[in-house]
Structure 1
Amino acid sequence: MTKRIKLRTILVGGVITLLFVVLIVRVYFVQVANADFWLGKAREIWATSEPITASRGTITDRDGNILAMDAPAYTVSINPDVLHKLNLADRVVDKLHEVLGKDKAALEKDVNAKRENGEYVVNREIRSEGWKIDKELADQISEFREELRKETGQREVGIYLMNDQKRYYPKGASASHLLGYVQKTGEAVYGIESLFDDQLRGQNGYIKYEKDGRRVQLADGEVEYQPAIDGRNLTLTINTDIQYYVEEAIKEAYQKYKPKSITAIAADPNTMEILGMATYPSFDPNAYWLTKDQAAFYNNPVKMLIEPGSTFKIVTLAAAVEEGVFDPEEKYVSGSIKVAGSTLRDVRRGGWGTITYLDGLKHSSNVAFVKLGYEKLGADKFREYVNNFGFGQPTGIEQPGELKGRVDFHWPSEVATATFGQGRVQVTPIQQVAAVAAVANGGRLMEPHLIKRIEDPVAKTTQVIQPKVIRQVISPESSKKVGEYLEQVVSDKVNGTGHNAYIEGYRIAGKTGTAQKVTGGSGYSSNKFIVSFIGYAPVDNPKLVVYVVADEPNDPTVGGGVVAAPVFRSIMEKSLKHMGIMPDISESEEADGVVRKKSVTLPDVIDKKVTQAANEMQSRGLNFEIVGKGKTVLQQIPKAGVTVPDTQRIYLITEERKQMAIPDMNKLPLRDVLEVCSLLDVECVTEGEGYVVSQEQVTEGGATVLKLRLEPPDGIAEEGAGDETVSDGATSDLEGGGEESKEGTAQQAPEGEGEATSPPPSE
């Protein structure tokens, strides 16, 4: 028995010893012989990597106002397994439908999502409505989640909000076509965002480190770090205020005339920096998916090909002046002209008789420009100027997909119709602006620009985009003459087709355009038109060129002078005043021997932000003063709707009276002085009558007293006395043969007259 026990003990001991030997050998091979291999495998398990997202570069206007930036966002996801265990699926579907607007059927599919084994999935993102949502929506989701937690007593209720970031456009739809947008997937689409995507995007970084089972970084573990490289920041040439004027003006015209689209561009002719550029209808880049009409995304300034109509006559005129073949006093017979068997007509059948070429310009006579371009210049010289003005080639503006247009007139009738902007010449709006800017600035064709600066925040460098002269097209002397001729198109309220663009106190040069649209083949529509107006100011020192073009307004009887010229006038007047270029109007005007003061009716700016109120006052050329340090206008003196002399100071009150200092009331009438004193709760003592010429603030008996000395107005009319009523002489373009309603190619002739309906394709 003892022997048997000893044998068993030896056997067990031997087995245990053998096992230890095997274990030691195994440990040797693992930790010594194959140590590097297994250490690598361990590090793979320990190691983790987290991305470091680069910030996309900001886009600002020329004054630093942000147009595009990265902003915090949140992505909603759910755990269908938890939702069904807690019986919350239906409630979550209803709430997410209410907050995110996603279809209930799609949400039910999300909350019922299962794996192949039939079990519910544990994570499901709500795409795309719940992807990268704003904080406002995220807060609603968070509140709902807290409500479920309280009801169920569970911390885990199956709804998650993940931190994210998205592209945000603070000004909404403003400048959307030129900016483009970034999709939720991170793909840049259209505009500056797309063209400069490589520079704006930057480069993501990462951090790799070793962790324990609780994902806590090991103190002595290896760390690999690659910092993110933020994208470059772009400063545009756009002026936010002028951009606003452009967008408001075209939106108003769109609502009135319902064209397919309306586009406007405002630029500095001396540098060709774009100050404002917009198309309507538009879209909101913050919610691009809500815009279903793909036409709203079309960037008309660089992609819209049009027969420009009479605005193109500026090119013909400039070439004729430069070559010395335009004599404003020379006479010709208007009405019609035959070119190689085709009869081309003026809009006014029969014309205006024998008139001067300057009158032909004012009337926008097609015959005058056929004679100038086709007969006097000749086809080769005319084509040379068209090419030199930049037509038929991209301008180089920083926008993707710019079209080069088409200039391929060859036959006599094609050359003739091209002289007044129809037929075998098609241009983009930006080409038109660049060409007319060259006429305005002394003859220099400039490359248009939207980018002013590119800043690299990592390298701390800034690239400044300088104005670029492409070529000298006409001489400064010819430029000056053309401006003076075009000024008469606007200033002549009887014969000038552009009289609706007239702005009192400014010298405006401009030209209307009304071009028939092609309706298949080579035929032209009798009721579909492209109407436009282009011009610049001030004529003697141009600071702004503005082009407005509307595609098919709903009234076929209106032309560029009725539709586009008022839009031009609104943009030009507000923009010039914003730029500090005030109208040159004498203080008094004499009519019927009576001296009258220039007056203006005050707008209502109460409850508006100070910046908005200031812009509105500036756009009207008003002399105003902001009283107080508040951010919102609480009261204005004088009140809205009151008519006052344009030199009178307007007070915008932004604080309660106890916090305000007494403003300067020089030249203020007694009535308004008393209102200001009442508002400030200040005792007012006056001496004399009329308007304030001096003021003194003193303290008497512990109270503030304001002593004012007034004197008679000396040529300043009291309100309501001698207010001037100004008529801009606006009439329909068709009255008196003013605007060309069916301008362009040869018109359909009555049967038997033998006149061509359109230029023949070959001759």
Structure 2
Amino acid sequence: MIKRIRLRTLLIGGIITLFFAVLMGKVFWVQVVQADFWQAHAEKVWSKKKTIPASRGKITDRNGDILAVDAPAYTVAINPKLIHELGIQEDIVKGLHDILGKKEDELRELVNAKNEDGEYYRQREVRREGWKIDQDVKDQVEQLKNDLMKEHDLEDVGIILIKDKKRYYPKQSLAAHILGYVNREGEAVQGTGIEAFYDEELKGQDGSLEYKSDGRGIEIPKASEIYTPVTNGKELQLTIDYTIQYYIEEAMKEAYAELKPISMTVIAADPKTMEILGMANMPTYNPNEYWKDVDPKNFYNHAIKSVYEPGSTFKIVTLAGAVQEGMFNPNDSFMSGSIRVPGQTIHDMRRSGWGAISYLEGVKRSSNVAFVKLGYEKLGPELLKQYVDNFGFGQKTGIELPGEAKGKVSPVYQADYAAMSYGHGQLLVTPMQQVAAVAAVANGGKLMEPHIVKSVTDPHTGETVTTQPKVIREVMSPEKAKEVGGYLEQVVSDRKIGTGRHAYIDGYRIAGKTGTAVKPAKGGGYDYSKQVVSYLGYAPVDDPKIVILVLIDEPRNSELGGGTAAGPIVKKILNQVLQYMGVPKQLDKEGTNSAVSSGSGTKAPELSGLLVQEAKDLLAGKGVSYATLGNGSKVVSQFPKAGTHLKSGQHMYILTEEGQHLNIPNVKGQSLRDAMELLSVLQVSVKTAGEGYVVDQKVAEVQGQRQVTLVLEPLGKDQVEEETDQNALDEAEEKDTEESQDLDESASSSR
């Protein structure tokens, strides 16, 4: 008996000893061997870290108008568990579908979502339609929530609104290609604009707060905390002017709708500093709703990324070199028509030429022969290439935007150098390079680096770094640059033969040059139905405030060239911008333009009954500008009437249908006088509200008659009431002299 008790005691003691040995081993394993692991796990359980997101820096125009800013946003979420408990699944699905536009079957899938344990989730976000919605949509969701609570007498219906923030562009699509955009995750999309180029400066650095909590996640009072302050992003002020950008884009929209090209590009800059005042492309997109644009072409910034053969706008460089080297005598004459260079014969548009003409007339008519003689023969290939390089071609301009192309300048044969003298051959340029080069002529001979960021400000310290104008090199003397400007002014002001005459504005001295590049055909040769047309100029000539380029890729009507397609767009933009800038008009004592003009004192000819082309040829021969209205083949009426004395700069309207059958055109931006003149031709009654220039128009039918109400506002402090504005496109005006090349030397374009 005693023996059994002893054995039992030993067994129990052994078991207890073994238990304690195992226990001590486990303790040793946990506290010594796995000490680091469990220490880290404990820290993870009781230590919490909260991220404090940084605010992305705002972007403004040069005057402080906000172009991009962080704004409050809300994400819609639902509680499937509560919704099923309340039995209101279909009410939630239908209500959110009507507001967010999300498909009903996708919403039902969210409402019925279960976790791995087969239980309904307590929270599911409605992606992507309900992600980061704005205040208006948030108000609609809240109204739905309140209506359901009231209808079912509930305190909650399982709709949750999570406060967030998103990038917001208050001007919508305005300056979209300059700004770029930030996606819904808050990341700048690479290659899309300032948002991407200055991403590091704009995004700032998130802050954080580390603290101790109990098992329920509640912060422990008086526990140690580690706070890392947030660093908000820096603020950018751009060089663009919202008003100028608006004028540019409005003019582009109207022309884009009428010309129906593949794309359009407009750049405007201050030639003295090369600050970009406005830059836009069509087609475009709205960065607030970037996901709605599926065509990548809408996001492409042609202004800095596309390269093309410039055509005759490039002749400005050849002219500048010849003038600088003392090789241009405007009164010397040459035989126009054609010229032979090694391996090629180059022709003017009019293959027979104009006979022996002066070099100044050759510039006005944009004679290819004149510029081959100036660039290839007088300057010579080596010196011509040097001027092309000095003006910045074949090199990136350095503007603060991603994806800039550098173009190509690679002549090999003598014919390449000859073609380069008038903007063709082994020559590819970007629109921005063209603007910088012509700005160098306008500002007195200094090639400057274009820039689009005026200043960068640290919101924490208030420190501001301002971008200073940067001169790359001097390409010509101020005196010679002024001389070139005088010749380019005559290209615009000579209303009879100047290829730039369609941008002429009574009272403003404008220098300009037009250009056209014919695209290559797929099977070889060139396709004259596909052209890139452009207009490049600056104003006022004596004190330039703005240099502007309008580039149109394949206008629907291949008969239109740089002057007839792009010239009126340049005119409309300059007319508005110069007045906005407060640039006064230069009028003589009689109140007419002091610049060279033609057509003054001419009587309006009788056009009724003529074929449209006959009427156009007649007016072109008299140096009278015109606009055609309607799609008929004959002239049914005209304005002004035959025999009326035309004022300097006044243009005629050719109606090919009865006025009451014609669509009412957009007259925004025109003076009241010009708008009234045009609408009277269409037999439309007019009412006005305000004074100044047309900023809006409303069409209504009153007693069976069309009536237009014009809303007027002043555009600038020094505007002149008697300004003549030729806004209508001269759709079938004779093509600019430089716009048609022989097949052997026509320009191709990679744009």
Contact persistence 2:212–2:220 (CA under 8 A): yes
Asked if the contact 2:564–2:735 (Cα under 8 Å) also holds between the matched residues in 1, the reply is: no
Match of 2:54, as an amino acid? Answer: A
C-alpha separation in 2, matches of 1:294 and 1:522:
28
Q: 1:158 maps to what in 2?
A: 158
On the 8 A contact 2:517/2:747 being kept in 1, the answer is no
Measure the CA separation in 2 of the matches of 1:617 and 1:98: 43
Distance 1:39 1:342, change over 3 A: closer
| Shift in alpha-carbon separation, 1:151–1:509, aligned structure 2, 3 A | same
Query: 1:340 aligns to what?
Result: 342
Match of 1:129 in 2: 129
CA shift in 2, pair 1:41/1:405, >3 Å = closer
Alignment of 1:38-117 (within 5 A): 44-117=44-117
| Aligned partners of 2:310 and 2:423 also within 8 Å | yes
> Which residue of the partner structure matches residue 369 of structure 2?
367
Q: How does 1:585-600 map to 2 (within 5 A)?
A: 585-586=587-588, 588-589=590-591
- Aligned AA (1:244): Y
Deviation of residue 157 (structure 1)? 2.3
Counterpart residue type for residue 287 of structure 2: P
Of 467, 490, 493 in structure 1, the residue corresponding to residue 492 of structure 2 is 490
The match for 1:387 among 389, 392, 395 is 389
1:665-684 superposed Cα distances (whole Å, 9 cap, x missing partner): xxxxxxxxxxxxxxxxxxxx
Q: Structure 1 pair 411/51, CA: closer, same or farther in 2 (3 Å)? A: same
1:184 matched residue in structure 2: 184
Which residue does 1:304 correspond to in 2? 306
Deviations 1:56-79 (A, max 9, x none): 001011111111000000011122
Give the AA of the match of 1:231: G
Instruction: Show the counterpart of 1:195.
Output: 197
| Unaligned ranges ≥5, structure 2 | 1-8, 593-599, 603-643, 651-667, 675-687, 696-710, 715-719
Deviation at 1:145, TM superposition (A): 1.5
State the distance in 1 between where 2:171 and 2:557 align. 33
> Does residue 238 in structure 1 map to residue 240 in structure 2?
yes
Point out where structure 1 has 5 or more consecutive residues left out of the alignment: 1-10, 601-614, 622-633, 642-649, 654-715, 717-722, 748-755
Larger radius of gyration: 1
Q: 3-state SS of the aligned residue for 1:182?
A: coil
Question: For 1:370 and 1:599, how far apart are their aligned partners in 2?
Answer: 33
Under a length normalisation based on structure 1, what TM-score does the superposition of the two structures give? Answer: 0.76
Q: How many residues align?
A: 626
Q: Does 1:547 align with 2:545?
A: no
1:556 counterpart residue number: 558
What residue identity is the alignment partner of 1:95? Answer: G
| C-alpha distance in structure 2 between counterparts of 1:104 and 1:110, whole Å | 10
SS in 1 for 2:273: coil
Closer/same/farther in 2, CA of residues 640 and 434 from structure 1, 3 Å limit: closer
Contact 1:588–1:595 (8 Å) recurs in 2? no
Whether the 8 Å contact between 1:734 and 1:740 is mirrored in structure 2 is no
What is the CA–CA distance in structure 1 between the aligned matches of 2:672 and 2:280, rounded to whole Å?
Answer: 19
Q: Could you give the per-residue CA deviations for residues 598-653 of structure 1, whole angstroms, max 9, x where no partner exists?
A: 999xxxxxxxxxxxxxx9799999xxxxxxxxxxxx96479989xxxxxxxx9989
Q: CA 1:72 to 1:516, structure 2 compared with 1: closer, same or farther past 3 Å?
A: same
Q: Distance in 2 between matches of 1:598 and 1:351?
A: 29
| 1:56 counterpart letter in structure 2 | R
- Determine if contact 1:589/1:595 at 8 Å carries over to the other structure: no
Cα distance, 1:106 vs structure 2? 2.6
Match of 1:472 in 2: 474
State how far apart, in whole Å, the 1-side matches of 2:673 and 2:286 are.
Answer: 29
Asked if 1 retains the 8 angstrom alpha-carbon contact of 2:500 and 2:567, the reply is: yes
- After superposition, give the CA deviation of every residue in 1:297-347 in whole Å (9 maximum; x if it has no partner): 000110111111110000111011111111111111111122223222111
Cα pair 1:559 1:739 within 8 Å, conserved: no
Q: In structure 1, how many angstroms separate the alpha carbons of the residues matched to 2:601 and 2:492?
A: 25
Opposite residue 336 of structure 1, the aligned amino acid is: S
Match of 2:738, SS state, is coil
Structure 1 segment 23-34 matched on structure 2, within 5 A:
none
State how far apart, in whole Å, the 2-side matches of 1:303 and 1:275 are: 19
Say which is worse superposed, 211-220 or 570-579, in terms of deviation: 211-220
Tell me the CA shift for residue 154 of structure 1.
3.8
For 1:430 and 1:176, locate their aligned partners in 2 and report how far apart those are by CA, in whole Å: 17
TM-score (norm 2): 0.77
After the TM superposition, which of the residue ranges 517-526 and 52-61 deviates more from structure 2? 517-526
Q: Which moved more, 1:153-162 or 1:539-548?
A: 153-162
Q: Is the 8 A contact 1:495 1:738 kept in 2?
A: no
Q: Distance in 1 between matches of 2:559 and 2:62?
A: 40
Equivalent position SS for 1:510: strand
Q: How does 1:609-624 map to 2 (within 5 A)?
A: none
Match of 2:283 in 1: 281
Distance 1:619 1:298, change over 3 A: farther
**Other-structure match for 1:667:** none
1:553-608: CA deviation from partner (whole Å, max 9, x where unpaired): 010111111111111111112111111111112463488799999999xxxxxxxx
Cα RMSD between the aligned structures?
3.7
| Contact 2:694 2:712 (8 Å CA) reproduced | no
